[in-house]
Amino acid sequence: MTTPTYITTPLYYVNGDPHIGHAYTTVVADFLARFHRLAGDDTFFLTGTDEHGEKIFQAAQTAGMETGAYVDSVAAKFADAWKTLLVTNDDFIRTTEARHTQIVRQVLQSVYDQGDIYYDEYEGAYCVGCERFLTDRDLVDGKCPDHNAVPETRREGNYFFRMEKHREWLRQHIQQTPEFIRPEGYANEVLSILSEPIGDLSISRPRQRVPWGIGLPWDDDHVTYVWFDALLNYVSALGYPDGERYTHYWESARHLIGKDILKTHAIFWPTMLRAMGAPIYAGLNVGGYLMGSDGQKMSKTLGNVVDPFVLAERYSPDAVRYYLIKDVPYGQDSSVGEKALVDRHNADLANDLGNLVSRVRALLLRHTDGKLPVPVATPTEDEIIAQGTQLKEKVTELITNLKFWSALEEVMQFVRRLNRYFNDEEPWKLAKAEDGAERLGTVLYTCVEGLRIVSILLEPALPMKVRELRHSLALPDGDLSAAGQWGLAPSGEQIPAEAQSLFPKAEVPEAEISAADDPSGGQDGGANQAPKASGKKKGPKKPDAEPAEDVEQISIDEFFRVQMKVAQVTSAEAVPKTDKLLKITLRVGEQERTVVSGIAQFYDPADLPGRRVVVVTNLKPAKLRGIISEGMILAAEDADGNLALVEPDKQLPSGATVR
């Protein structure tokens, strides 16, 4: 029997167009929904738009539009935006729909009739941006911290919901249910709020001031306040109180939100549900803020706004999805930028995954007539098989614990292991050996079968590209259980002769590259420089291009200013919080020095000690990720972006000069 799973995004406020914050939460929710479907869970995924309130009424007036026409136009933009990012929501609810407004009026009347809503006059600090009164505790230096604005002082008569009466119940529920609010830090934040009186909640506005809203069923001179309207979408979309979807899905509900609406979802919403006599949702998953690549809040004035829909058109929807899931640890504040997206795309998708697929396909077409071989496994494959079949459980555990970025990294570590296996076995040499055919077939099959597992586990993040991957290698689709099995790639199946490059190497338009995107100050160990471009449309990188005639020439004296020496690696380790950099200790003659090098995607640190490399020794030291780097290790790059260390072909002593 399948497990019901109900996943929701917040309802997005239609006082502006969709932006990167909306996209992030929606992509993560879609990633979760796709993963649950892959696991066989009975999944329902909801998103939609919040279309009532003072800000929307004002936005429509500013746009010179009738309010209904305005919300129709903006809601359509949200629906189209999610199609662009390959989002697979099962429903899209709008708070102006009759199925919602009827439930809102029904709930309001019920809670009013039981005495949990009352009328009172109130004077306080009102933030138009938040559409609510703020307490002194909410303010920072007298301002709303979310909108950096001094609130208005307002006095008016409103209806109030008796929220304070549920405070102790909610505090105990959170303490007794560790998974109710995640990550844990946000639960602690809510418990801190609940340690003191929270007061009652204003739930209406005078219609003469805010004419755009749902009228209170017992007093049409007032419209309901945004939270007693918008929050009810989560149940109205399911047919509350007795619809089949509601009874089937509701108690499995997991809301995904940004931390800016934590209080409303963690305090207002549960207390409303309790007053309604409805079960409480299963959990609240809270994401952090997204900031510009300069670490500041995004703004058009600062020029650090990231438009996910422009990036989806420029690179691909899958590239945007993968970047947002992989580079934004869920629950934490994170900086995002186009250069970082391109770096992630090139490192993980183009270099590691796409390049492996391309190399395996080329050998299959050239040496097996394009047919998947029959493997004859040896102990060499045992580690690969074990790692591949165990991957599903590791990924499932990480996703269950909201470690989405770690789940993707776990899969990419396996891709890198397949690359090392491919390089170590040297199938291009096996193809030339008289007795190499059987071994060649085994190596190629092992890579293809590993890629089959990878394609399943990456499908929630890369739904379009993994289908292309499977087509290019004649692989079947599969659910999550198929990712835990080895040997399902169909031997004898013919791969297509032609297939598009999965992930052409991307480049950032020159105008998009800023100092804020390059915290290393330009020195990165010589192996992870950002690709540069003229701003033209992106495409596959052209190999072996002729040097431009206007390349600046240098004299022999200038060349000899660069001091290069042979060095021996004595130790190497990964740099924390990055999958690109290694901290490498070198012996250069009698000297020991530390270099930070961007070769982590291509070399296992355990394989480096003892190797001799070429290092530039007279570069000014640079601080990278808190480590002083005292030089640059030389590496060559091919047309596909693969790096290879420059090494002497004879056993020269450490410290030998390179000329």
243-265, pLDDT tens digit by residue? Answer: 999 999 999 999 999 999 999 99
In one-letter notation, the amino acid at residue 212 is W
The structural architecture, per CATH, of the domain 4-288 is 3-Layer(aba) Sandwich (3.40)
Cα–Cα distance, 207 to 648 (Å, whole number)? 81
Which strands make up the sheet holding 283-287, listed edge to edge? 91-94, 42-50, 4-13, 253-258, 283-287, 181-182
Cα–Cα distance, 438 to 442 (Å, whole number)? 6
- Residue written as tokens 């996703």? 399
Q: For residue 9, with 0-12 CB atoms within 10 Å meaning exposed, 13-18 middle and 19 or more buried, which class applies?
A: buried
Report the percent of the chain where pLDDT is more than 90.
71
- Please state, rounded to an integer, the average pLDDT across all residues of the chain: 89
Evaluate if residue 395 carries a pLDDT over 70: yes
408-439 pLDDT, tens digit per residue, is 999 999 999 999 999 999 999 999 999 999 99
Cβ contacts of 24 within 8 Å, gap of 6 or more: 287, 290, 308, 324, 328
For residue 281, the 8-state DSSP code is P
Least confident segment among 14-23, 183-192, 226-235, 617-626: 617-626
pLDDT score of 611 = 86
Cα–Cα distance, 150 to 561 (Å, whole number)? 59
- Residue written as tokens 């003892």? 610
Cα–Cα distance, 71 to 52 (Å, whole number)? 9
Angle ∠(26,32,38) on CA atoms, nearest 5:
135
63-107 pLDDT, tens digit per residue, is 999 999 999 999 999 999 999 999 999 999 999 999 999 999 999
- Residue written as tokens 């480096």? 608
- Residue written as tokens 């970082």? 340
Evaluate if residue 303 carries a pLDDT over 70: no
Contact in structure between 473 and 494 (CB atoms under 8 Å): no
Cβ atoms within 10 Å of 219's Cβ, excluding its own: 13
- Token pair belonging to 437: 């055919």
Least confident segment among 46-55, 301-310, 531-540, 548-557: 531-540
Contact in structure between 120 and 255 (CB atoms under 8 Å): no
The candidate with the shortest Cα–Cα distance to 56, out of 67, 66, 47, is: 67
- Residue written as tokens 């992989």? 326
Cβ-count burial 28-60 (b if 16+ within 10 Å, e if not): bbbbbbbbbbbbebebbbbbbbbbbbbbbbebb
Domain 336-484: homologous superfamily in CATH: Isoleucyl-tRNA Synthetase; Domain 1 (1.10.730.10)
Catalytic positions, written as ranges: 19, 22, 127, 130, 144, 147, 297, 300
Cα–Cα distance, 325 to 28 (Å, whole number)? 7
For residue 468, the 8-state DSSP code is H
pLDDT score of 245 = 98
pLDDT score of 14 = 93
pLDDT score of 300 = 57
508-517 pLDDT, tens digit per residue, is 876 554 433 4
Alpha helix stretches (DSSP H) within 514-651: 556-560
pLDDT score of 560 = 73
More confident residue, 301 or 483: 483
pLDDT score of 528 = 33
Confidence grade of residue 557 (pLDDT, cut at 50, 70, 90) = low
Rounded-to-5 percentages of helix, strand, coil across the chain: 40, 20, 40
Q: Where are the chain's structural domains? A: 4-288, 336-484, 553-658
- Residue written as tokens 């749902």? 214
Cα–Cα distance, 231 to 252 (Å, whole number)? 16
Contacts from 304-311 at CB under 8 Å and sequence distance 24+?
Answer: 304/337, 304/516, 305/19, 305/20, 306/20, 306/336, 306/337, 306/338, 307/19, 307/20, 308/19, 308/20, 308/23, 308/24, 308/85, 309/18, 309/23, 309/81, 309/84, 309/85, 311/338, 311/341
Cα–Cα distance, 155 to 144 (Å, whole number)? 18
Cβ contacts of 203 within 8 Å, gap of 6 or more: 108, 117, 158, 159, 160, 161, 224, 225, 227, 228
Q: Taking the mean position of all CA atoms in its chain, how far away is CA 213?
A: 35
Evaluate if residue 522 carries a pLDDT over 70: no
Cα–Cα distance, 603 to 212 (Å, whole number)? 61
pLDDT score of 535 = 34
Least confident segment among 236-250, 270-284, 585-599: 585-599
pLDDT score of 546 = 39
Average pLDDT over residues 625-642: 86
Evaluate if residue 184 carries a pLDDT over 90: yes
Cβ-count burial 168-182 (b if 16+ within 10 Å, e if not): eebbeebeeeeebbb
Nearest 5°: phi and psi at 567?
A: -135, 150
Average pLDDT over residues 368-378: 95
More confident residue, 132 or 103: 103
Half-sphere exposure of 644 toward its Cβ, with a 13 Å CA cutoff? 9
Cα–Cα distance, 292 to 142 (Å, whole number)? 26
Evaluate if residue 305 carries a pLDDT over 90: no
Cα–Cα distance, 69 to 370 (Å, whole number)? 56
Its pTM stands at: 0.77
The structural architecture, per CATH, of the domain 553-658 is Beta Barrel (2.40)
